[in-house]
Amino acid sequence: MAENATNLLDIKGIKKSFDKNEVLKGIDLDIRYGEVHVLLGENGAGKSTLIKILNGVHPKDAGEMYWEGKQVEFTKPQDAINLGISTIFQELNNVKQLKVYENIFLGREKKKGGKISFLDKEFMRKESIRCLNELGQNGEELVDQEVGKLGMGQQQLVEIAKAIALDAKLIIMDEPTSSLSGREVEQLYNVIELLQERGVSIIFITHKLEEIKRIGNRLTILRDGYMIKTLPVKETDPDYWIELMVGRSLDEKYPKKKFEVGNEGFRVENLHVEGTPGPVSFSVNYGEIVGFSGLVGAGRTELARAIFGADPKLGGKIFIDGKEVVINSPGDAIRAGIAFITEDRKNEGLLLDQTVHFNISIANIKDFLNNKTRIINQNKIRKQSENYVKELKVKTESIDTNVRFLSGGNQQKVVIAKWLCTNAKVFIFDEPTRGIDVGAKVEVYRLMNELVEQGNIVIMISSELPEILGMCDRVLVMNEGRITADIPIEKADQEIIMKYATGE
């Protein structure tokens, strides 16, 4: 440690532009030894770009960086790794077919021997066991397992073990709890406390305000490429964070509207999803939002995929307005008027290297064909896309921008626009606000209200109990592929939902 270093990391006046788009506009940030420093901001605020500069992926255009008091420059990711900076991305960078110890030493395998060298598996296994044990895991048990056969929480711990093996002094965690169960989240919090005790600093990116209070020491808020303020977490209020983050006060986190409940609009009878113990039945009425809650692995997404025809089912019937619809493929579901906003927007909801207007039109391309020539009417696609971009407030340079370059929240809006473009009647939202900021969440909630008000059916699958309680009229709880409870929201609370979710 440099004698004059009061912080592990100081950055001053960092700027970054892509073409004419100025993303970072002079960011100042300091990271203290052994602290959890939270970065908070709307999608598009500049968090991801700042992190990619810190881990050497993007070069900065201007500004200075100091590591333990000494000025540094990163021209490639290895420069950051060599100093002791390790990044755990939301999409984990492990190779699922390799064993745990092989992932921990991936790209820096230890070798032994002379001219003809061999992998030193014994050393790598021993070091991996040590790192896993330091995280409170049974290293002997985990070290030889295939990473792809582990749960998401354990896969994430493998990434953290990799950082420990690298002797990281700063670990950057990007939305680390977005795909974890409640038990796995608590396990991660315990690991973070262990890392702090070792003097490791953590930059933690999240949109979940409740977990900031749980683990954060200080909080820096970004907005539109500017550093707005750095605050002590314990001495400030989440409502104030939101106001600083979005530049305005959000009157309600969950702007739920109450509508008169009408007739049944959607019904599932004895639908048996392959791999589950038995059939499932439920119905949704006009005027209500019905939520599906349950632990990770409860079968909620599998049920939605079977309804949409994306996964096989062993039997059952689906009705819209009392009429049976036969669905054997996603194409059948689209023609029947069912939209499925998938939880995995990057791999299943979007074509990332295609334009905004292409993605919006792709699920309903037949409506843009000229009846006589069968040529796609590009002008009609562009006009429709521009309308949805404006209506949903999608932040993009133009509708010709590839979706890959949009923030997570704006990508989610493009997915929603795609299904609005199909004139669907039944909307199934699977984890609709995962990985998006508070402001974008409120916009998605308001859109749900509008869909119900316009006479559509809305189903929401969510792992966030406050979201279920705040936006739904009824909650269906699932456990091991079965619906274990159907609770009016007035009689629901987190404790009751968790009892049914755990099968008590």
In tens, the pLDDT along 377-412 reads: 888 899 989 998 988 888 888 899 999 888 777 888
Last residue of a domain, one of 400, 423, 446: 423
Give 374's contacts (C-beta < 8 A, 6+ positions apart): none
> Closest Cα partner for 189 from 170, 167, 212?
212
Does 1 fall in a domain?
A: no
- pLDDT grade for 115, boundaries at 50, 70 and 90: low
Query: How large a percentage of the chain has pLDDT more than 90?
Result: 46
Q: Is the pLDDT of residue 33 over 50?
A: yes
Buried b vs exposed e over 350-387: b needs ≥16 C-beta within 10 Å? Answer: beeeebbbbbbbebbeeebeeeeeeeeeeeebbebbbe
What pTM, to 2 d.p., does this model score?
A: 0.67
Q: Is the pLDDT of residue 232 over 50?
A: yes
Question: Does residue 375 share a domain with residue 270?
Answer: no
Give 461's contacts (C-beta < 8 A, 6+ positions apart): 291, 292, 300, 301, 304, 343, 428, 429, 430, 431
Which of the two residues, 43 and 123, has the higher pLDDT score? 123
Q: Which runs of E-coded beta strand occur in 189-240?
A: 201-205, 218-223, 226-232
Quote the tokens at residue 198.
């070792």
- pLDDT grade for 2, boundaries at 50, 70 and 90: very low
Q: Is the pLDDT of residue 481 over 80?
A: yes
CATH number of residue 164's parent domain:
3.40.50.300
Q: Is the pLDDT of residue 504 over 70?
A: no
Q: What is the pLDDT of residue 207?
A: 81
Q: What is the pLDDT of residue 3?
A: 45
How confident is the model over 269-297, as pLDDT tens digits? Answer: 999 988 788 899 999 999 999 999 987 77
Does 255 fall in a domain?
A: no
Please compute the mean of the pLDDT values over residues 158-182 and round it to a whole number.
Answer: 84
Question: Does residue 129 share a domain with residue 54?
Answer: yes
Please compute the mean of the pLDDT values over residues 93-117 and round it to a whole number.
Answer: 84
Quote the tokens at residue 120.
């030193």
Q: What is the pLDDT of residue 5?
A: 59
Q: What is the pLDDT of residue 329?
A: 93
Question: Does residue 300 share a domain with residue 181?
Answer: no
Question: Does residue 390 share a domain with residue 459?
Answer: no
Does 254 fall in a domain?
A: no
Question: Does residue 241 share a domain with residue 279?
Answer: no
Q: Is the pLDDT of residue 433 over 50?
A: yes
Please compute the mean of the pLDDT values over residues 205-229 and round it to a whole number.
Answer: 90
Residue 26, CA distances (Å) to 7, 155, 227, 451 in order = 19, 35, 8, 41
Domain residues for the domain of 363 are: 345-423
Question: Does residue 465 share a domain with residue 351?
Answer: no
Q: What is the pLDDT of residue 285?
A: 96
> Closest Cα partner for 200 from 407, 31, 52, 367?
31
Question: Dihedrals φ, ψ of 229, to 5°?
Answer: -170, 150
Does 252 fall in a domain?
A: no
Question: Does residue 220 share a domain with residue 120?
Answer: yes
Number of domains in the chain: 3
Question: Does residue 431 share a domain with residue 318?
Answer: yes
- pLDDT grade for 50, boundaries at 50, 70 and 90: very high
Q: Is the pLDDT of residue 458 over 80?
A: yes
- pLDDT grade for 251, boundaries at 50, 70 and 90: low
* CB-based contact 332:340 (threshold 8 Å): no
Question: Does residue 412 share a domain with residue 473?
Answer: no
Q: Is the pLDDT of residue 1 over 50?
A: no
Q: What is the pLDDT of residue 430?
A: 92
Q: Is the pLDDT of residue 477 over 50?
A: yes
Q: What is the mean pLDDT of the chain?
A: 88
CA 211 to chain centre: 15
| Tokens 């307005």, residue located | 321
Does 3 fall in a domain?
A: no
- pLDDT grade for 495, boundaries at 50, 70 and 90: confident
Q: Is the pLDDT of residue 488 over 90?
A: yes
Q: What is the pLDDT of residue 250?
A: 60
- pLDDT grade for 237, boundaries at 50, 70 and 90: confident
